[in-house]
Structure 1
C-alpha cells in the first residue's frame, strides 16, 4: 500500500474514531447527569460518586483534533467552500496561474501554521518533556500547563496545530501537483436529493 493510501485511510479512520468516541463519551455523560438526579436508592449514590465533569473538555479536545484532520481531508476531497467564479471563467494559462496562486497561498498558510504551532508546542512544555524523558538538563524550559479537568499536558493537546498544518500543507501540495499534471481539481459530488429539483 502506498504512503498516500495509508494517509487517506488514517485520516478517515481517525476522524471516524474520534467522532464515535466523542459521541459515546457525551452520551454516557448526559445519561449519567440525568440519572444522577433520579432518586433511585444505591444507583443515585453510585452515580454521584463518579465524576464525569471531564467529558466536556474531552469532547472539545476531540473536536479540535477532528477539525484539523478534517480540514486536510477537505482539501483532499474538494469539500471546502470556495469562491471559484473567477477561476471557473478563466481559461488556459490565466486559470492555471490563479489556481496555482490559490493553492500556493494554502501551502504557505499551512506551513506557517505548522511552524508557529510547533514553536508554540515546543516552548509550552514539549521541550521540557523531551529533555526530561532523556534525562537531560531541562535548562530554561518549563513543564508547561495542564488541562483543567483531565490534567493532560497542554502541549499534547495543542500538538494537533503543527500536525494539522503539516497534513493540510501536504494535501495542498498533492492537489497542486495533480492540477499541474491533469488540469483537474478535486470536486465533491453532491448527491441528488429526492424532491429537490435544480432550476
Structure 2
C-alpha cells in the first residue's frame, strides 16, 4: 500500500514539474513576443522545476528499470558470476545515492543557516536544494527495492519495447 501511494506521488510530481515548466516557458515566450516584456523569474523557476523533475525522474527510472545502466560486463560474464555482479552494482547504487542524500541533507542544513535566497524568485535556497536529499533518498530506496526483489526472485524490472509492458527480465 505504501509503495503504491509513493509510486503515484512520484509520477504525479514528475508530470506536474514537467507540465509547470512547459506552461511557464510557453507563457514567458508569448508574453515576450506579444507584450514586448517577458516574465523575469520564468527562467529561474523553469530551471528549478527541471532539477526537481530530474531527481525524481532518476528514482522513477530505477523503479521501472529504465535508468541508464551499462550491462556490457554483466552480459559478457559467465552465468555464475552475473548474479554477483548485479548484486554488487545494486549495492553500489544504494551506497552512492545514500551518500548523496546524506551530504545533500547536510548541504540543505548549511544553506538554511546562511539565509540565502534565489535571485529572481527570492525563495530560500535551502527549499530548492531539498531536491538533492529527497530525490537521492528516493532513488536509494528504489535501489533497495530492486535489490530486495532481485535477491528474492532473481528478477528485476527491465525497460521493454512497446507492446511488452509489464514483463520483467530474469537474470
Q: Give TM-score, length-normalised by structure 2.
A: 0.90
Shift of 1:90: 3.3
Question: Is it true that 1:179 corresponds to 2:150 in the alignment?
Answer: yes
Structure 2 alignment gaps of length 5 or more? 164-171
Q: Determine which of 141, 147, 152 is the counterpart of 2:118.
A: 147
Matches within 5 A, 1:1-199: 2-37=1-36, 48=37, 52-125=39-112, 142-191=113-162
Residues paired across the two proteins, number: 163
Determine the C-alpha separation between the residues in 1 that align with 2:161 and 2:140: 25
Larger Rg: 1
Shift of 1:143: 4.3
Shift of 1:88: 2.5
Determine the C-alpha separation between the residues in 2 that align with 1:183 and 1:87: 14
State the Cα deviation string for residues 35-86 of structure 1 (Å, max 9, x = none).
Answer: 123xxxxxxxxxx5xx611000000000000000000000011112222122
Shift of 1:110: 0.5
Determine the C-alpha separation between the residues in 1 that align with 2:137 and 2:80: 29
State the Cα deviation string for residues 92-146 of structure 1 (Å, max 9, x = none).
Answer: 5411110111000000001110110000000111xxxxxxxxxxxxxxxx44210
Aligned-CA RMSD value? 1.4
Divergent runs of 4+, >6 A: none
Aligned residue for 1:185, secondary structure, equals strand
Q: Give TM-score, length-normalised by structure 1.
A: 0.78
Determine the C-alpha separation between the residues in 2 that align with 1:16 and 1:69: 10
Determine the C-alpha separation between the residues in 1 that align with 2:82 and 2:152: 14
Shift of 1:91: 4.7
State the Cα deviation string for residues 7-54 of structure 1 (Å, max 9, x = none).
Answer: 1111111000111111111111000000123xxxxxxxxxx5xx6110
